[in-house]
């Protein structure tokens, strides 16, 4: 699980061009949207692509996204339970 | 009173120049590395900058340096008038590549219009003024002069931040000049050709 969280942080930094951050800068429970990393709606689409491309998870209910993408912790838990890759 | 060029900023060949003064120089030939170094040097502190395509980075860097060095606050009714040759070709090609590889990247797609750079400058500087982006084969001083004068004469704007923001891979040249109803450099073709 710790490896998955680190991997996720690296993927997010690369996909969202957060060049000023390192994986160590992102806390597992830090909010990804709003006050935390300040991600926006375009970033949310990028996260959906990461789930699909890298973990084989298709998010068919957008309402679930809010909870899944709350933090690295919640993303990693969801991927762990639903991944097909 | 005549409208003249009161300030200008140029980013070209690893140099950032404001009103004849060399503010920053970097021998880095890779544009992305050069502009990141410049971002850190000028302490822009604007995280969104990293997400931008090369054209937006160049336009935002140039306008930010110019505006930061003004002695007076930028008039909120300052229009933006940008031109170039290659539109936003770098991000277009990147977007095309991602499509052929199976996953179109939304973060790339949102930058696949050159006028997005106008939006980025406007957002950063809280401008709600007139703005336009035109594509020409080469730098076109006659057009920039005529359009700038029209914007001011018709009272669409009190000032105009105009110029050329061209980038294709690591070949870049951005010249932005501020035209105001103040004494400065005459808004003439030969003066603009000297600056570019």
Preferred mutation among B47, B95, B111 to probe A, highest tally of A CBs within 10 A: B47
pLDDT for A36 beyond 80: no
Average pLDDT over residues A30-44: 88
pLDDT above 70 as % of chain B: 100
Q: Report all structural domains of chain B as residue ranges with CATH numbers, in order of start.
A: 4-195 (3.40.47.10)
pLDDT at A1: 87
B 12-31 near A (Cβ less than 8 A): none
Average pLDDT over residues B132-147: 98
Average pLDDT over residues B95-119: 93
CATH at residue A46: 1.10.1200.10
pLDDT at B119: 97
Give A77 to chain B, closest Cα distance, Å: 24
Sorted by sequence, the CB contacts under 8 Å of residue B67 that are 6+ apart come out as B74, B125
pLDDT at B1: 82
Q: How far apart are CA B110 and CA A26, in angstroms?
A: 25
Q: How far apart are CA B190 and CA A15, in angstroms?
A: 45
Residue with the larger pLDDT of the pair A30 and A37: A30
pLDDT for B91 beyond 80: yes
B51:A15 CB<8 A: no
Q: How many structural domains is chain A composed of?
A: 1
pLDDT for B117 beyond 90: yes
Q: Which residues constitute the domain of residue A18?
A: 2-82
pLDDT at B72: 94
Q: How far apart are CA B56 and CA B118, in angstroms?
A: 8
B45 at interface of A, judged by CB pairs closer than 8 A = no
Q: Which residues of A touch B (CB under 8 A)?
A: 15-20, 38, 42-43, 45-46, 49, 52-53
Q: How far apart are CA A61 and CA A48, in angstroms?
A: 11
CA distances from A33 to A7, A8, A18, A70 (A): 19, 15, 14, 7
DSSP states of B19-77? TTEEEEE----SHHHHHHHHHHHTT---GGGGGS-HHHHHHHHHHHHHHHT-SSPPPTT
Decide: residue A62, CB within 10 A, 0-12 exposed, 13-18 middle, 19+ buried.
Answer: exposed
pLDDT for B54 beyond 80: yes
Report the candidate in B11, B1, B58, B67 with the shortest Cα–Cα distance to residue B195.
Answer: B11
Average pLDDT over residues A1-21: 91
* Confidence at A17, pLDDT banded by 50, 70, 90: confident
Question: Tokens representing A72?
Answer: 């690295």
């Amino acid at each position: 699980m710790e490896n998955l969280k680190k991997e996720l942080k690296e993927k997010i930094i690369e996909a969202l061009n957060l060049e000023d951050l390192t994986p160590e800068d992102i806390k597992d429970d830090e909010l990804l949207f709003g006050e935390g990393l300040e991600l926006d709606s375009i970033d949310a689409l990028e996260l959906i692509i990461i789930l699909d491309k890298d973990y084989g998870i298709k998010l068919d209910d957008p309402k679930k996204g809010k909870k899944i993408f709350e933090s690295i912790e919640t993303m990693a838990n969801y991927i762990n339970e639903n991944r097909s890759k | 009173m005549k409208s003249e060029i009161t300030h200008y900023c140029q980013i070209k060949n690893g140099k950032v120049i404001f009103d004849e003064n060399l503010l920053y120089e970097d021998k880095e030939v890779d544009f992305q590395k050069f502009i990141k170094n410049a971002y850190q040097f000028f302490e822009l502190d604007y995280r969104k900058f990293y997400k931008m395509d090369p054209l937006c980075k160049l336009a935002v860097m140039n306008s930010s340096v110019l505006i930061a060095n003004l002695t007076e606050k930028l008039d909120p009714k300052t229009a933006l008038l940008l031109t170039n040759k290659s539109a936003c070709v770098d991000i277009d090609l990147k977007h095309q590549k991602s499509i052929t590889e199976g996953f179109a990247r939304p973060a790339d797609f949102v930058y696949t219009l050159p006028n997005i750079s106008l939006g980025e400058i406007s957002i950063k500087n809280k401008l709600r003024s007139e703005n336009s982006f035109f594509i020409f084969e080469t730098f076109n001083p006659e057009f920039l002069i005529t359009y700038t004068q029209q914007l001011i004469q018709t009272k669409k704007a009190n000032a105009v931040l105009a110029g050329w923001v061209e980038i294709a891979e690591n070949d870049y040249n951005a010249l932005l000049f501020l035209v105001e109803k103040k004494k400065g450099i005459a808004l003439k073709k030969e003066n603009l050709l000297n600056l570019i």
